[in-house]
Every structure is written in structure tokens, then in C-alpha cells.
Amino acid sequence: MQGSMHPQDAHGQHGGPGFAPPNFAAWGLDGTTAQLGMQLGSSAVAAGQDYMQRNFGTILPSTYIKHHFNVSNSYVITKLRLVLFPWRQKSWARRSRISSGPSGGQGQNQAVQEWMAPREDVNCPDLYIPVMAIFTYVLLTALHAGINDGFNPGILGDSASRATAVVLLDFAFVKLGCYVLNITSSSQVVDLVAYGGYKFVGVILALVAGFLGASGALWWLVFVYAFLANAFFLLRSLRTLILPDASTAPPTHATSTVTHAQRRRRIVFLLLEAVLQVGYMGWLVRV
């Protein structure tokens, strides 16, 4: 498997891209509600970074977390398109570069292999989209309750807890599978959390379809498509970790030989992880 890789230090803007504020009046929202929504959205990334740093700061240095928020407008658009329409993507391998780093008290630099930042590699997992998607999911569940005259402050906490539980369950399953199958890779904890967070993009698509009046067979068609797109995206993304291709690995990172029996078990594990997404997403859309 691949050796240790280090994310490059994130340069420039870490707070995510900036977008022009939408016209909330067109959706029938008053100024106070619109302002509250914009404040929540603008603070989502900062809150996500702070949460990750407080909970994973003792495990991972801040550079690892900042690295996953180093995105651009073009990256976000391209990544969302990849998550929702992954069928024609040809290359799923992450890109890396060789950079110079301190050699440890010798006053010299040595070559260090590092992953490119998300803004430079669409295949790099990021935390900006998952964090924003989870915040959007929580707000949509509150909006759904408000439309049906059933809103109360506890709904925000319940939906946030549900989202957190799904992410943790998915992460625990992948980590357990990697342990049982003796899979070691350079992927960090944050990478796996990011991959598990992309499912919320499909969940949001299904919820919005319901808000727009889709019901019955039409809504199920949207949900099934969102599930299939997310499952395919995960299959291809996690395949580079579970079944790395030696021909595409960096020259300085050799991959271990995988026997036929090991390969078969890992393929079954990947398929099971993909199938489980329908359960996770089905639970999330029950608002």
C-alpha cells in the first residue's frame, strides 16, 4: 500500500469560496429569516474548522485540517458535479508532488511527498462541501418542519445528531473493514470522514425534490439516482485506498502485493460499503 503522505500547507483562502447571496425574497422568506440563514451559512466553515481542530487537534496537526478546507469556487462546482454525475470520470487517482522539507535538525532539506490541496486536485477529499452539506441538511429539516407547522428548536439538535451518527457509523464501518482486511494506507481520519460526508449532497437533492412537489414514483426516482451516484462515487474513490493501482502510485510510494483471495474480499467490502449508503441516506431523508 502507499506510504505516508503529507498534505501541503494550505495557502491563500481557507474559509472556502465566496458566492453571491441568493434572492431569498423569491422563496417567500422575510429579511430576518434570510439574514439568519446567511449568517449560519457564512459561519459553517469556521465552525467546522473549529470543531475538527478541537476534536482532532490532538491527533492531527492543524495543517491537516486546514488542508481539507483549502478550496476554490471552481473546485466546489467541479466536485459537486463529480459527486452528482460521477459516471464519466476517467481518473480517480489523487495527485501528489515532491516538495522540500526540514530533515530534522541537520539544517538541510529533504524531499517530502505531499498530496495536492483540493483546489488543485478534484479527486482530493475536502471538508468544505461535507460541512456545508450537513449545515444545509439541518436547515432543510427545520424548514420542512416549519412548513408543516411542527418546528421547535429541538429539531435542529435532532437532525444534527442524526447527521453526526450517520457520519460516525459510516466511518467506523470503513475503519473496521480496513482493520479486519489488514488494509493500511496513507489516508488520514479526516479523509474518510470527508468521503462519508459527500452523501449529504444526494440527500439534499432528494429533500429539495420533495420541497418542489416531487412525490411518489418521481421522488423515488430522484432518491434512487442520488443513492446510485453516491455509491458509484464512493466505489471509485475508496478503490484507490482499498485496491491501489501500482501503475498509478508515485514512484517513491510502493504498493504491497494483493493476493487473489485478498482482492476478492476487498471487492466485497467495497460493494457492501456502497450498498449500505441506501440505509444511511434513507434514514437521513426521513424528516
Confidence (pTM): 0.76
Residue 107 lies in a domain: no
Residue in the structure block whose three cell numbers are 465552525:
47
8 A C-beta contact, residue 144 and residue 211: yes
8 A C-beta contact, residue 277 and residue 132: no
Residue 261 lies in a domain: yes
By three-state DSSP, how is residue 181 classified?
coil
- The CA distance from 56 to 83, in Å, is 26
Pairing of strands 109-115, 96-102: antiparallel
Residue 171 lies in a domain: yes
Structural domain range at position 45: 7-94+118-284
Phi, psi of 108 (to 5 degrees): -125, 165
Residue 271 lies in a domain: yes
Residue 188 lies in a domain: yes
Each residue's pLDDT expressed in tens, for the chain with a length of 287 residues: 444 455 555 444 445 564 444 454 554 445 555 555 556 555 655 665 565 556 555 555 567 778 889 999 999 999 999 999 999 999 998 888 887 655 555 556 666 777 898 999 999 999 999 999 999 999 999 998 888 888 888 999 999 999 999 999 999 999 999 999 988 765 678 889 999 999 999 999 999 999 999 999 999 999 999 999 999 999 999 988 888 765 545 444 445 677 888 899 999 999 999 999 999 999 999 98
Residue 276 lies in a domain: yes
Residue 109 lies in a domain: no
